[in-house]
Amino acid sequence: MRTKEKYDLIIIGAGPGGSAAALAAAKRCSVAVIERRERCGVPVQCGEYAPLLLKRLAPWESRFAAQYLEGFDGFICGEKSFSRDAPGYVLRRSLYDGALAAAAADAGVDFFQPAKAVDCTGNGVIIDVGGTRRELKSSFLIGADGPRSLLRQWFGLREQPLMSAVQWSLTLASPLKRAEFYFDPRFRWGYGWLFPKGDTANVGVAARTEPGERLTSLLSAFARRLVEAGRLRPGPPLAKSGGWIPVGGPDVTMIFPRCLFVGDAGGFAHPVSGSGIVNAVLTGRLAGEAVTAALNGSAEGIAGYDRAWRRLLGRPLDRAAENRRLLQLGWTDDEERFRRLILHCWGPFS
């Protein structure tokens, strides 16, 4: 691994957003990425469902897709209530994330991995690599370190509204060609999902739990219902995962004089559905391009990033944030009112 002490850009996090930013900037900048995990994309903390647009935003190989999907269906209180033909993929996220990071490394990006950013200085960051601390200096920083971003804390951004999620890999009873979303008053403020992945499926629940309630209990009951409905075969999970989904939308500004935020660290996940892979790659690419422009004399500097993401994502994210507010205010156990609420806020994806 080639490393030095001074870079044009340091990126915290090597998920899709961080690696996309590194790839975009590596053409004309010296870039370092700090990643705490030994392997990018492992463990998987994602439903792995993404639209076809993803393949146009970053390097793509057919092996990244575990299954092609024709679209998705929504079930409210057990009844199919909406449907949309929206082609997409269920990904192999560990392969996708790893390949994107490898492409950045091949482009000349230095990776410090596993390593942890432990402090931010006026000139860069302090990192811990195998128990040894060192300072890396840089002109710019990009925060791509997820929904509980340390860089957000260091720059004084608000704590993001988060929803917890758990997911199991389970065996399908028969092949499916569409993703399925499930809405039930018991999944408070959230939903359940079944994303087919060949012979198996990612089955999960995202919800706000009540005191003493365990999200895994909700998922267990949900999985049993899917077995009874003939969607799944009975049996223990093949794999388990979980994580946090930011649902508050982006902050007023995602740029500081020398720092930008992308992906979940910037609150760019869809506030209603929680989907964030495409937005992470898109904002990462835009941020990398903005830093490159600033370092090469652009009069606009990195402020161009704010204009770029707002032009592409501002209106749909604002609308989704308002629907998230209505969803939480209007959540009810009354089945008819609940149905109308979900159709208004979700259908489909508003």
Residue 1 has pLDDT above 60, yes or no: no
Residue 211 has pLDDT above 80, yes or no: no
Distance spanning both ends of the chain, measured CA to CA: 46
Burial (CB < 10 A; 0-12, 13-18, 19+), residue 95, is: middle
The per-residue pLDDT of the chain, averaged, comes to: 92
Q: What is the pLDDT of residue 350?
A: 56
Three-class secondary structure of residue 315 per DSSP: helix
For the record, the structure tokens of 140 come out as: 């710019």
Report the percentage of the chain scoring pLDDT > 70: 98
In the chain, what are the domains? 6-69+90-161+246-326 (3.50.50.60), 162-245+332-346 (3.30.9.10)
Q: Distance of CA 215 to CAs 65, 187, 188, 210, 317, Å?
A: 28, 9, 11, 9, 27
Instruction: Report the C-alpha gap between 257 and 259 in whole angstroms.
Output: 6
Which stretches within 30-106 are classed as H helix? 54-57, 93-106
pTM to 2 decimal places? 0.93
For the record, the structure tokens of 138 come out as: 């840089």
Q: Give the largest CA-CA distance in the chain.
A: 62
What residues does 243 pair with on adjacent strands?
A: 165
Residues 6+ positions from 252 with CB-CB distance below 8 Å: none
Q: How many residues does the chain have?
A: 350
What residues does 244 pair with on adjacent strands?
A: 164
Instruction: Report the C-alpha gap between 335 and 305 in whole angstroms.
Output: 43
In this prediction, residues 320-329 reach a mean pLDDT of 96
In this prediction, residues 280-291 reach a mean pLDDT of 96
Query: Sign of dihedral through CA atoms 101, 105, 106, 109?
Result: positive
Please give the DSSP secondary-structure letter assigned to residue 310.
I
Which stretches within 27-140 are classed as H helix? 54-57, 93-106
Q: Are 100 and 23 a contacting pair, CB within 8 Å?
A: yes
For the record, the structure tokens of 34 come out as: 């700090």
pLDDT classification of 257: cutoffs 50, 70, 90: confident
Q: Are 246 and 264 a contacting pair, CB within 8 Å?
A: yes
For the record, the structure tokens of 265 come out as: 């660290």
Residue 65 has pLDDT above 90, yes or no: yes
Q: What are phi and psi of 87, to 5 degrees?
A: -55, 140
Q: Distance of CA 170 to CAs 189, 219, 243, 244, Å?
A: 24, 12, 18, 21
For the record, the structure tokens of 1 come out as: 């691994």
Higher local confidence (pLDDT), 337 or 43: 337
pLDDT classification of 299: cutoffs 50, 70, 90: low
Per residue in 135-176, pLDDT tens? Answer: 999 999 999 999 999 999 998 888 899 999 999 999 999 999
Residues 6+ positions from 39 with CB-CB distance below 8 Å: 94, 98
Q: What secondary structure, in 3-state letters, does 291-304 show? A: HHHHHCCCCCCCHH
